[in-house]
Structure 1
C-alpha cells in the first residue's frame, strides 16, 4: 500500500471514531484517547483489538441517525478519460484515478482523500464522511 493510501485510510478510521459520539466516549472511558489534546495512541491497533465492540457502537449510532441521514445523490460523468461523480448539490465529488485507486473531495477539504478501489469505494467513503460530519454537528450541539 502506498503512503498516501495509508494516510487516507488512517484519516478515514480517525473520522469514523472521532465523530461517532458513542465510540468516542467508549475510547475516552478506557483511557485510549486523551480528549484534552486529541492525542491518538495506536488507534489502528485499538480498532483491531476492540473491533466487535466498536462496530456494535457504530451500528447503534448509525441506526439512530438512519431517519435523518439520507444517501448522497450522485450524477455520473467522464472527464479526461476518467470516471467521476458529483453529488446533486455539488458538495461532494468522487473520482476514479488512473493509478488503480480513487479519491473523493468534501466541502472544506483542500486535497482529495484517497481510497483503495474505484469509483464505488470513493462514493462509499464520501457517504461515510458525510455521516461523520452530521455526527460531529450533533455531538457539538449536545455540548
Structure 2
C-alpha cells in the first residue's frame, strides 16, 4: 500500500542518483585513464631519449679519452723535439767556440811563421790534435744528436 509505493519511489530515486554518480565517476575515471596513458607514453618516449643521450654521452667520453691520449702523445713528441733542438744548439755553440779557438791559433801560427820562429814540424806537432779533434768532436756531436742524448 501506502508505504510501499512511496518507498519504491524513494528507492527508485536513490537508485537513479547512485547510477548517475557511478556514471560520473566512470566518466571521470576514463578521463583520468586517458591522461595517465598520455603521460605514460610521454615518459616512455623520454626514457628512450634518455637512453640515446646516455649512449651519446658515453661515446663522447670515449672520444675525449682518445683525444687526450693523442694530445699527451703530441706533447711528449714536442718536448722531445725541444730537448733535441736544445742539445743541437748547445753543440753548435761548442763548435762555434772550437772554430774561433782554431782561428785564433791559425792567426798565431801565421804570425809566428811571419816572424820565422816556428818550424814546420812544430806546427804539425802543436796543431795535430786540433786537426784530428775537430772532426771527431763534430762526429761525436752528430752521433749524440742522432741517438737523442
> Which structure carries more relative contact order (alpha carbon 8 Å, separation 6+)?
2
* Same fold, judged at TM 0.5 (above): no
Task: Give the structure-2-normalised TM-score.
Answer: 0.20
TM-score w.r.t. the length of structure 1 is: 0.21
Q: Considering fraction of residues, name the structure with more strand.
A: 1
Q: Which has the larger radius of gyration?
A: 2
